[in-house]
Amino acid sequence: MTRLGAVDYLNVRPLVHGLDRRPDLVSVRFDAPSECARLLEAGEIDLGMVPSITYLNRPGDHIVPGLCIGSDGPVESVALFLRTPLRAVRTLAVDTSSRTSVALTRILCARRFDIAPTLVPHAPDLNAMLAAADGALVIGDPALFADHRAIGAEKLDLGLAWTEMTGLPFVWAFWAGRPDAASPAVVTALHDAARSGLAHLDAIAEAYSAGPVHQAIGRRYLRDSLMFQMNDRALDGLRAYYREALALGVATGDPSLTFFGADASVGSRS
């Protein structure tokens, strides 16, 4: 059995749809993105839906081709929440669940926003973060479902900021692990799960979210904000992110991309 580690957010649910019916082949656990990366490093999972920045520091890992959590424009679930004008931001509380988004924040601050705030790690509690700093980086469900207007905050979407800067999608996470972690049967099962998930996006959002308001947000998010296919444009965006991160010194490692087996693809929403 291959042990899978997935992020504990709505955005991964289409990629694991129906895998609970394959106990002969895989098991799945759900954790914060940073914890997925830690579990992979510790050998407690075989294949992780890891933050894309993690791959740089794991030489030899392979990527499951064709699948990712990405965006091509606004992503809705990775954002800076601000009560201070962006130019006046001096401190940012950053979600401890995140690795990729923290590095992206550093890139955007330097290359697009022209600010150099101090980044302070903080648990993902938006009100507490905004009480402690000029702004807050929040990811995943807490960012997606936050009612920022109710607390008098502006929401600055980092997926949109990246695409405006580069003209490219952003790849937030993908399946990766050591070279022997995913057999051809496991890769096939992951693509089958994604195809099934993409055919049932509304049902997935409704089953995951509590109440009609969150269900409507979830349906729109899965249909309109995310891309699940790691196509050529997504790969160009991933390579651009790695170049920026390495050039600014916000990450180190090898940006070469190595994949399990032959490429495969699924339908995408972008």
Q: Is residue 261 part of a domain?
A: no
Kindly state whether residue 102 falls inside one of the protein's structural domains.
yes
Asked whether the predicted pLDDT for residue 121 surpasses 90, the reply is yes
**Model-level pTM greater than 0.85?**
yes
pLDDT tens profile 219-252: 999 999 999 999 999 999 999 999 999 999 999 9
Are 109 and 135 found together in one domain?
Answer: yes
Residues 47 and 95 in one domain: no
The confidence band for 108, taking pLDDT boundaries of 50, 70 and 90, is very high
Task: Identify whether residues 180 and 155 lie together within a single domain.
Answer: no
Residue 255 lies in a domain: no
Instruction: Identify whether residues 146 and 162 lie together within a single domain.
Output: yes
Is the pLDDT confidence value at 264 over 70?
A: no
Domain that holds residue 243: 2-70+170-248
Tell me, yes or no, whether 183 and 234 share the same domain. yes
Structural domains of the chain, count:
2
**Per-residue model confidence (pLDDT) at position 261:** 84
Neighbours of 222 (CB within 10 A): 23
User: pLDDT per residue over 155-175, tens digit each?
Assistant: 999 999 999 999 999 999 999
If pLDDT is split at 50, 70 and 90, which confidence band does 39 have?
very high
Which pLDDT score is estimated for 268? 35
- pLDDT, position 263: 44
- CATH classification of the domain holding 123: 3.40.190.10
